[in-house]
Amino acid sequence: MGSLSRSVPRPGPGVHGGLFRLGQCVPFAIALLVLGIEFSPAHFLYTGPLLTATPALAAVTMGPRGTVAAAAVAMAVSATTATYNHAWGSLQVLTNFLALFLVSGAGFLTSRAVRTRRRNEIDQVRRIATAAQQVILRPVPARLGPVGAAGMYLAAEAGAQIGGDLYEITETRYGVRVIIGDVRGKGLPAVRSAAAVLGAFREASHYEEDLVEVMNHCTAALRRESAVPGAYSEDTLLEGFVTALVAQVSEGPAEEPVVEVVNRGHPPPLVLSRGEVRALTPSSPLPPLWLEDFMTGPPAEAESHPFAVGDRLLLYTDGVIEARDGDDRFFPLAEAMERAAEGTTPADAPRGFLEQLHRRLVLHTRGRLADDAAMLLVDRLER
C-alpha cells in the first residue's frame, strides 16, 4: 500500500480550550476560598455546601482522576478546618464528611461512565471516518504499469481523516491516469464535492480517450452535485470551485516518454529529473472547475512534457506550498524535493521519498499546518 495519512495538530487550544481549562480550576479555587474563610474573621459562615460541590464540579470537566483529586483536596480542607476549630466529633463535621464521600463517589462513577461513553463515540466516529476515507481516498497502489506511486494526506486538524483535498491514480487502456484536486471550502460540502469529482474521474478515465473530456466529466459531476436540494447553502455555492489537475503516463515509444497534463487552476506539478526540479507550468492557464464562465483563452487541451525513466513527478495541493514557518516563509517544495532525493534510495522510493518530504514539512512548520495538504508521487519505471 502506497497511501499514507498523517495528522498535524493546529497551534493553541483557542478560546474554548481556555474556558475549559478555567473550568477545571474552579473546584480547587473553591477549596482555597473555603480555607481562606475558615482562617478569617468570617469563619462563622457555614462552608460545608461549597466543599461538597467541588468533586461534583470536577466530575464535569476533569474525569475520574480529577474527581478523586478534587475530593482529596476538599477532605483535606475539611479536616484542617475541623482541627483548627476543634470541631472533631461534632455533627456538622460528620455530616460534611459523609456528604463529601457520597458526592465524590457519585461523581467518580458518573465521570467514568461519561468518559467511557465518549471514548466509544469517538472510536465509532473514527471507524466511520476511516471507512469514508477508504471510499473517497483509496489506497495508492505501489506499482501500476510503467509507474511506481505513493500518496499522502496531511490533515491540519488533529484526528481528521478526510477533507476537500482529493487524489486518485488508476491504470487504464490509455495509460496510467492521475487526478489531484483541492475543493475551495470546508466541511461536508467540500467532502461532497471531492467525492463527486473523484467518482466522475474513476468512471470517465476508463472510456474517454481525451484527457480534456475526462476533466469535463468531473466538471459536470460537480455541477450535478451542487444542484442537489439542501446539499449546499448560498455561501458554499460561491466558494465551491475545485482546482484540479489530470495527468497521464502512457507506455509510448521508449525514446520519447512523456506525461500529458490538463491543469484547471491547480498548482503546477514538479518533475525531479537528474537531481534538478522543474515545474510543469501550463502555457495557457485555465480556470478551476465550476468557473468555466471565466474561460477566455483557447479551448483546453492536454500538454505534453518529457518524463523519462527515472524521473519523478510530484502532484500536490496548495496546503503544501502555502505552509509557513515561524518567520512566515512558505515551504520551499522544489528545494525539499532535491534534498529528499539525496536521502532516499530506489529500494524505499517513492514511499520513502514522501516520508522525507513529510518530515521536512513538519520541521518547517513545527507541526503546525494551517490547511489540509495532499501529495501524490509518480515514478517513471522500466517496464
**Residue 234's pLDDT band (cuts 50, 70, 90):** very low
- Distance, CA of 338 to chain centre: 26
Q: Does residue 296 surpass a pLDDT of 50?
A: yes
Looking at the chain, how many residues does it have? Answer: 383
Specify whether the CB–CB gap between 305 and 315 falls below 8 A: no
Q: Does residue 4 surpass a pLDDT of 60?
A: no
Q: Does residue 181 surpass a pLDDT of 90?
A: yes
pLDDT value for 215 = 94
Burial of 24 (0-12, 13-18, 19+ CB in 10 A): middle
Average pLDDT for 136-154:
89
Average pLDDT for 57-68:
79
Q: Does residue 163 surpass a pLDDT of 70?
A: no
**Residue 37's pLDDT band (cuts 50, 70, 90):** confident
List all residues 6 or more positions away from 298 whose beta carbon is below 8 Å from its beta carbon: 284
pLDDT value for 9 = 44
Average pLDDT for 349-364:
90
pLDDT value for 132 = 64
The helix (run of H) or strand (run of E) holding residue 35 is helix 14-38
Beta strands in the chain (DSSP E): 3-7, 143-144, 147-155, 165-172, 175-183, 242-249, 258-264, 270-273, 276-279, 303-306, 312-316, 373-380
**What gap in Å lies between CA 92 and CA 111, rounded to an integer?**
28
Cell 466511520 belongs to which residue?
128
Lowest mean pLDDT among 53-62, 197-206, 236-245, 303-312: 236-245
Q: Give the 3-state secondary structure of residue 260.
A: strand
Average pLDDT for 330-357:
84
Q: Does residue 255 surpass a pLDDT of 90?
A: no
**What gap in Å lies between CA 7 and CA 334, rounded to an integer?**
23
Residue of higher predicted confidence among 351 and 90: 351
pTM of the predicted protein model: 0.69
Q: Residue 338 is placed in which grid cell? A: 532535491
**What gap in Å lies between CA 89 and CA 91, rounded to an integer?**
7
- Domains contained in the chain, CATH given: 14-129 (no CATH), 140-380 (3.60.40.10)
Before 9, cis peptide (omega within 30)? no
Lowest mean pLDDT among 23-27, 146-150, 202-206: 23-27
Q: What is the DSSP string of 276-304?
A: EEEE---SS--PPBT-GGG--SSPP--EE
Q: Does residue 171 surpass a pLDDT of 60?
A: yes
List all residues 6 or more positions away from 183 whose beta carbon is below 8 Å from its beta carbon: 164, 165, 166, 190, 193, 194, 197, 240, 241, 242
Q: What is the DSSP string of 130-147?
A: HHHHHHHSPPPPSEETTE
- Distance, CA of 146 to chain centre: 31
Q: Does residue 204 surpass a pLDDT of 90?
A: yes
Q: Does residue 326 surpass a pLDDT of 60?
A: yes
> To 5 degrees, how large is the angle CA 292–CA 298–CA 301?
85
**Residue 46's pLDDT band (cuts 50, 70, 90):** low
pLDDT value for 214 = 96
pLDDT value for 8 = 46
Q: pLDDT tens digits for 101-111?
A: 888 888 888 88
**What gap in Å lies between CA 127 and CA 121, rounded to an integer?**
10
Give the side-chain half-sphere CA count within 13 A for 187.
10
Give the side-chain half-sphere CA count within 13 A for 359.
9
Average pLDDT for 112-131:
74
Before 350, cis peptide (omega within 30)? yes
Q: Residue 126 is placed in which grid cell? A: 473514527
Residue type, 341: A
Cell 481516498 belongs to which residue?
137
Calculate what percentage of the chain has a pLDDT beyond 90. Answer: 34
pLDDT value for 12 = 45
Q: Does residue 278 surpass a pLDDT of 60?
A: yes
Q: Does residue 335 surpass a pLDDT of 60?
A: yes
